[in-house]
A and B are shown apart, each in its own frame.
Chain A
Amino acid sequence: MLLEVRNLVKEFGGLRAIDNLSFDVNEGEILGIIGPNGSGKSTLFNLLTGVLPSTSGKILFRENLVTGLPTHVIAQQGIARTFQTTRIFVDQTVLNNLMVGLVPRTKHSIWNALMSRVKMKREEQRLLKRCEEVIKFVDLEEKADGFAGELGQEEQKRLAIGIAIATEPKLLLLDEPTGGINIEEINHLMEIIRKIWNKGITVCLIEHKMKMVMELCDRIMVLNYGTKIAEGIPQEVRHNEAAIKAYLGEEYAA
């Protein structure tokens, strides 16, 4: 069990965004998280990564309690994420963006900057190699020296994923990685996610595009109003009444 969530609750004032949620993520699987807007999906990711403090409940990552730990510690433990709004360093080159992702793996103190300059130079070379691997992995080789701000939407999303996997995580949380891109680009991203899974990284994927979720994911969890209303393999969930109601209800309103 890579990730265990037990009785997680998040309250904002009187509102329960996450209501007594418990689930597991198995090592090596791709878990899809779906649900209508406002069901708490992004909030869940924020809780898992320590961006938001939980009201109560436990989160265990590789058997260690991570509830209440600061974000950077959780990231160092091996959980990486992307954000719903693509967050990258727009005025840096693609290469530099990825180099930042590698910083936590290095000695990045002022002392080192001043005292161990030769060692740092060698380290830099090693990091560059690793960066080039990641760039190849997310198919951004030609744009390596270009500025991140000049990339297209989908390329930026690939860069964000690249930064996340540069940290060599065990668990990757992807928050709607295909927001606003076309079918071809979606397939490209799906390929990359499969490549990531092949490398042994467990993936949790928040998505709205059903086809993608059905094809990619080993299991799916359906959230509504902060609770789990369905869970299982894609076929099961597809025929689950509660899940359909949650979505149909939304379609009716739309």
Chain B
Amino acid sequence: MARASLHPKILVSIMGVFFLIIVPVIFTTGFFLHLAILILLWTMLCLSLNIIFGYGGQLSLAHGGLFGIGAYTYGVLATKLGIDFWLAFPIAGAATGIIGLLIGIPSLRLKGPYFVIVTLGFNIILVAIIENLSSLTEGVNGLAGIPGPRGIPWLPFAGDFSSKMSQYYLILFFVLGFWLIMHFIKNSQIGRCLVAIKKDEELCQSIGINTMWVKVQTFVLSSILAGLSGVLYASYIGILTPHDASFHMGFDALVYLSVGGIGTIVGTLIGPAIMILISESLQAVVEIRLFINGLALIILIIFMPQGISGGITYLWKKLSQGGKRYAA
């Protein structure tokens, strides 16, 4: 009997990545490609939330604001100071990371609901800051004319980013990179720490683990990723308003992540993909979307807290167990 040489998870992952790569070839319409790009951008935001919530167990409601800070930092650097995308990208990431550090240090001392409330408060403050620094951010009027990434002529396949397809690949490149980062963390010492801290933080401390340091690092990384996804969003859409930093973004990311599966890597893609495709096909107006998202969140957490990817894993286990019984 032939032995399976590849673990099914690896096989599925390779197939999935391959599919993502050929998406622009299949869906050549501008509209579908636009949808695909949006899905990937939400994947990034969900991914950043997943690191602190899925891995770290701390529900942050500040990530909408962090996303917005990254987006606005790039927007301001690009439009007001004429700084190039490739330089502004890491700067905006670092800036968001620093803000994440400032938010994380006081907040992570707090347990459970207090952390949630405080991060919500911080998000509100971030939006207020964005609205009030109107000389830089144009306040409530919104920042427009944000340029996309400049091509790198001497790098193959990266010569020019003016087409939608090239922008898709740029964003996909970063999504894959971030997934790799998540994978590395999950299977590392600090990943082990995070799982343990989630279950029993006091026990971890009595073992000698500096749980605060672990949590702060995690929060800062998650902030940087949220900021970077904001940069890519700004460079793609070209226009920003303070609403792009609101806590509603964080809420939506939470919904999408819950649909996909909190704590999973594949959930960060499945969630946004399903929710965005559903709302597009239902021609859902913005108002209905809020209601549906809320309802979806409630139903999911009650009946399927592991999300869709959890459901699939469960089914897979059931099926493979059934097979084993016959294999004897």
Contact = CB atoms under 8 A, between A and B. Distances in A.
Contacts of A51: 202, 205-206
A101 B207 contact: yes
A101 B209 CA distance: 9
Interface residues of B, number: 27
B184 A114 contact: yes
Contacts of B208: 72, 75-76, 104, 167
> Interface size class for chain A?
35 or more
A113 B209 contact: no
Given A71-B206, A100-B193, A114 B181 contact: yes
B20 interface: no
B263 to A, nearest CB: 13
Given A112-B188, A120-B189, A103 B181 contact: no
Contacts of B202: 51, 71, 87
Main secondary structure of the interface of B (DSSP, over half): helix
B205 A72 contact: yes
Interface string B196-230: 10011011111111110010011001000000000
A82 to B, nearest CB: 9
A123 B187 CA distance: 13
Task: Name the residue in A88, A92, A110, A120 with the highest tally of chain B Cβ atoms < 10 Å from its Cβ.
Answer: A110
A96 interface: yes
A40 B189 CA distance: 36
Interface in B152-201: 181, 184-185, 188-193, 195-196, 199-200
B135 to A, nearest CB: 36
B207 A108 contact: no
19 contacts: A71-B202, A72-B209, A83-B206, A89-B195, A90-B199, A96-B192, A104-B208, A108-B189, A108-B190, A110-B221, A112-B188, A112-B189, A113-B188, A113-B189, A113-B190, A114-B185, A117-B184, A120-B189, A163-B207
Interface of B: 181, 184-185, 188-193, 195-196, 199-200, 202-211, 214, 217-218, 221
Given A96-B192, A107-B189, A164-B207, 7 more contacts: A49-B206, A72-B205, A75-B205, A75-B208, A87-B200, A89-B200, A110-B218
